[in-house]
Structure 1
Amino acid sequence: MQEQVAFLATVTVLGVLEQAYFAMQVIYARRKYKVSPPNITGNPEFERIYRAQVNCSEYFPLFLSVLWVSGIYFHQGVAACTGILYLFGRYQYFHGYAASAQGRLAPLYFSSCILWILIGLSSLGLLAHWLPVDVAYLLKHHTGL
């Protein structure tokens, strides 16, 4: 069983580490820009870093869900590679947003596209699971091949 999910587990841990890194960046920004908790407003640079971290955190459960479903029901390797791309996109998003509000857009579109791919892989995998179809049987009996 462990071999069947080792890549997914690795990407999950990498994602958790990325989330921890984003949270640490907020702590550093609080110190740098003197924004004490529970305040979330102040210096625009702080606010962008804070929003980037919150936005990444909001999408993380969705990412984990479709990563694991696509890995279990579609293909572990494909899901793990796609997951790495997603994490890369979120890293770019975080740093792009920290630099400027406009800097978040291209990485946001990229990571959203990757997330939709994972949703599609999950859907295909579950569809194949619930509707097992013998393609050879269908070809033979419905096309005369």
Structure 2
Amino acid sequence: MQNLPALVTLLTVILQFGTMFAVGHARGKYQIHAPAISGHPAFERAYRVQMNTLECTLMFLPTLWLAAHYGYVIWAGVAGLVWVAARIWYALAYLQDASKRGPGYMVSMVGWGALVIMAVLGLGRAMLAG
């Protein structure tokens, strides 16, 4: 269980690759030539999934590792798994219909929020002790 945050990090990298692949596939399928980022609605949804997931990953990974570093390894890993699973849910829903992306997004934010709380508590405890 000590390696759970590392597994979550690897799954996040795989998720990022999946969103990148979906955009590339949609570019070819709908004839959207680079550098264009608009055209067919299905391409635009894939592109937004990729960009939003990338934006969220930038906040997710540091909080995952801060929470793990400051004493919440297992709980950080669990919250991280929630985040990854919810981001997959979000991506699949958004690719089908943009109006269905909300529940996956909200669950991913719960996972991330839990990590923020763990990171703040852990860092705060360390600063008070040292």
Name the TM-score, length of structure 2 as normaliser.
0.94
Alignment of 1:1-145 (within 5 A): 6-132=3-129
Partner of 1:139: none
Distance 2:55 2:33 in 1: 22
Determine what percentage of the aligned residue pairs are the same residue: 33
Task: Give the ranges of 4+ consecutive aligned residues of structure 1 lying more than 2 Å apart after TM superposition.
Answer: none
> CA shift at 1:101, angstroms?
1.3
* Secondary structure in 2 matching 1:68: helix
Q: Distance in 2 between matches of 1:21 and 1:104?
A: 17
State how many pairs are aligned: 129
By relative contact order (CA 8 Å, sep 6+), the higher-ranking structure is: 2
Distance 1:75 1:50 in 2: 34
Query: Tell me, which stretches of 5 or more residues in structure 2 are unaligned?
Result: none
RMSD of Structure 2 on Structure 1 (CA) = 1.3
TM (normalized to structure 1)?
Answer: 0.84
Which structure: larger Rg?
1
Aligned mates of 2:10, 2:68 — CA distance in 1: 15
